[in-house]
Structure 1
Amino acid sequence: MKLTGVELRTVRVPLVTPFRTSFGTETVREALLVRVVSDEAEGWGECGADTAPLYSPEYTHAAADVLTRFLVPAVAGVPELDAHQVAPALAGFKGHRMARAALETAVLDADLRARGVPLAHALGAVRSTVPCGVSVGITESIPALLDAVGGYLDAGYLRIKLKIEPGWDVEPVRAVRERFGDVPLQVDANTAYSRADLRHLARLDDFGLLMLEQPLAVDDLLGHARLAALLTTPICLDESITSARAAADAIALGACRVVNIKPGRVGGYLEARRIHDVCAAHDVPVWCGGMLETGVGRAANLALAALPGFRFPGDTSASERYYATDLTEPFRLVDGHLPVPTGPGIGVAPLPDALEEFTTGATWVPLG
């Protein structure tokens, strides 16, 4: 496959409700889409970076810059390109995993479309639908939180994840557990705590949680290992897991018993599958996290979440959880599950009218 050009397109899609975490509150999803055009097919990828470097060092405008200046030219120079050659072609550049992931996904999509192969099949999926959970942001009050959780349970979601931070942890979790009984429940701290909070976090053991996700800093594997030894609640790592090697190290240190795989955070779906395989070899369950993706990213995440090692409902929620109008045909929840796309590649493409409505800028990078 030979690339003839790459389009970098920025879209801003309003969220149905503001989504607040310890990193801030989002009301709009600004996403960078990558479209590669080859002599055989075109493909799409979505960059998971936010508008500001809060969740990770990356942000959308920096991703567009590094793609234009460095990553796209490096990949364009590869003869007979396929997705497995993207990472080696970019090996000399440091960081920028989300930008790499978007480019690799677009190349993978084009390659698979040309061959008529669905992404789920290429990754090794074993399910045609995946169970779905929902992530609930920090609300202005506990009654508002209870209303939100109740609405999601009524909609059919099979697992509830609560965002927590210092000052918003034990009591909100207690309130949800008391109101909704033994609903599958987990919490996500997004690195908001320190080692000084270990005893406080141990209070969450009272609530029978599925897991406590990323309570400490990204680079504090030892702190997570100490917390894991203190709690009966399983520790799940998210931001700390940037590669298969990082996953193997965390497991060896006893820093986690569950892993959240976000393909953008780890550099793409091929590395995500390697992390899945490492965790499966150590009997560590994984699940698929979310980055407020539009339908482009959601489709690919569903393909990944259909692999056998994904044992918990992910954050692959229905389109309407986030968007009144998605970029693709909407994904709709049926009995708590979403269907895995069956078309070639990621199985979806942006709808022209939605793409036009939400685009704020586009750059065409000619190649060849």
Structure 2
Amino acid sequence: MKLERVELLHVSIPLITPFRTSFGTMTKKDTFLLHAVTDEAEGWAEFAADPQPLYCSEFVAGAEIVIRDFLLPRITALPELTTATVTPALTSVKGHELAKAALETALLDAELRAYGMPLAAYLGSIRDRVPAGVSVGIKNSVPELLDDIERYLAEGYIRIKLKVEPGWDVEPVRAVRERFGYELPLQVDANTAYTLADAQHLRRLDDFGLLLIEEPLEENNLRAHAELQKLLATPVCLDESIHSARDAASAIALDACRVVNVKPARVGGYLEARRVHDVVTAHGLPVWCGGMLETGIGRAPNLALAALPGFTLPGDTSASNRYFAEDITEPFVLQDGHLSVPSAPGIGVDPLPDALAHFTIGTRELHAIRK
């Protein structure tokens, strides 16, 4: 496979409603797509982070520079371009997992399309649909939160995740349990908003039968999470702290978590995400697939990953209309609390030309072979 062209399409898609977490409020999905054209097929991928380095250290403008000036030159220098050769070629560039994931996914998509193979089959997925959970942001009031959850449950979502932060944690959780009962699968996500000094306060959440509490403390602090897990009955789930299968193994060895959230972009792509899955399941722990408010280009491969056998908890792979009135692909629609795994070659979806044109605010060529 020979790489002929790579272009970056900067897209901006408004969210149906603002999405607030402990690190900020989003009103639109502002990111870029990578379009890789080879001599055999074309591939697409979505950069998962945001314009500002608030959720993670990577951001849109920085990732463009990294891909253009450091990653692509290493790819174009390869005598043979396959997914198997891409990842080793990028290891000399430290960090920048989300940028690497975007490039690797676009090339993997092209390679699998050339072979006529769906990503789900390539990864070893075993299901043709996956259960869908929904992430509910921080609200202005508890009644507003309860109304939103009631609507999501009516739509068919089978698991609720609440974003929490100091001052918005115990009371919202209590209200949800009182309104919807203890049979509702419920978990919370702190996005690193607490410190170990908050341990006694977080212990109050043990009364509500939560599936897990996600990344309560600062990221990459496995020791602090291990200390917190000793004090909590609620399983600690790590998200931002897991950048690789090695990180997952270390966290499990330290008992810093008892559940792992795999975000493919955060670990460098779908091949490493599969390795994280394998490590976690080998230790008998549950794993689930997180989300980063992806468009259909990012949502489709997440569904393929979430169909692996170890993904036993519903993920954040919500339907398209959870976030967007109009997506850039054919929308993913919730049916009986599940979403279908794409079965077409590669990631299984393509951008809709009219929607792509409507939401694209800039296009730049990162690489091209002049003929």
TM-score range, shorter chain: over 0.9
- CA distances 1:128-166 after superposition (whole Å, capped 9, x unpaired): 000000000000000000001111000000000000000
Flag as ranges the 4+ runs of structure 1 deviating above 4 A: none
Q: Secondary structure at the match of 1:266?
A: coil
Q: Secondary structure at the match of 2:14?
A: strand
Deviation at 1:55, TM superposition (A): 0.7
Amino acid at match of 1:178: E
Alignment partners' CA distance in 1, 2:341 and 2:84: 23
CA contact (8 A) 1:49 1:63 kept: no
Partner of 1:61: 61
TM-score using structure 1 length = 0.99
Deviation at 1:67, TM superposition (A): 0.9
CA contact (8 A) 2:220 2:242 kept: no
Alignment of 1:1-368 (within 5 A): 1-181=1-181, 182-368=183-369
Alignment partners' CA distance in 1, 2:333 and 2:263: 21
Amino acid at match of 1:242: H
Amino acid at match of 2:95: G
Alignment partners' CA distance in 2, 1:322 and 1:179: 24
Q: Secondary structure at the match of 2:266?
A: helix
Deviation at 1:294, TM superposition (A): 0.1
Alignment partners' CA distance in 1, 2:141 and 2:86: 46
- CA distances 1:8-48 after superposition (whole Å, capped 9, x unpaired): 11100000110000110000001211111000000001111
Alignment partners' CA distance in 2, 1:366 and 1:186: 43
Equivalent residues, number: 368
CA contact (8 A) 1:76 1:367 kept: no
Alignment partners' CA distance in 1, 2:367 and 2:204: 56
Alignment partners' CA distance in 2, 1:217 and 1:161: 19
Alignment partners' CA distance in 2, 1:187 and 1:112: 36
Q: Secondary structure at the match of 1:138?
A: coil
Alignment partners' CA distance in 1, 2:263 and 2:99: 13
Deviation at 1:310, TM superposition (A): 0.2
Deviation at 1:227, TM superposition (A): 1.1
CA contact (8 A) 2:11 2:359 kept: yes
Alignment partners' CA distance in 1, 2:79 and 2:140: 54
Alignment partners' CA distance in 1, 2:170 and 2:198: 12
CA RMSD between the two structures: 0.7
TM-score using structure 2 length = 0.98
Gaps of 5+ in 1: none
CA contact (8 A) 2:223 2:254 kept: yes
Alignment partners' CA distance in 2, 1:365 and 1:23: 31
Amino acid at match of 2:282: A
CA contact (8 A) 2:20 2:26 kept: yes
Amino acid at match of 1:218: E
Q: Secondary structure at the match of 2:175?
A: helix
CA contact (8 A) 1:2 1:79 kept: no
Alignment partners' CA distance in 2, 1:268 and 1:366: 21
- CA distances 1:99-143 after superposition (whole Å, capped 9, x unpaired): 100000000000000000000000000000000000000000000
Alignment partners' CA distance in 2, 1:106 and 1:341: 16
Q: Secondary structure at the match of 1:74?
A: helix
Amino acid at match of 1:318: A
Alignment partners' CA distance in 1, 2:367 and 2:20: 39
Q: Secondary structure at the match of 2:219?
A: coil
CA contact (8 A) 2:6 2:35 kept: yes
- CA distances 1:305-361 after superposition (whole Å, capped 9, x unpaired): 000000100000000000000010000000000000000000001100010000011
Gaps of 5+ in 2: none
Alignment partners' CA distance in 1, 2:4 and 2:264: 26
Deviation at 1:80, TM superposition (A): 2.1
CA contact (8 A) 2:68 2:367 kept: no
Deviation at 1:219, TM superposition (A): 2.1
CA contact (8 A) 1:193 1:217 kept: yes
Amino acid at match of 1:57: S
Amino acid at match of 2:18: P
Deviation at 1:366, TM superposition (A): 3.2
Q: Secondary structure at the match of 2:179?
A: helix
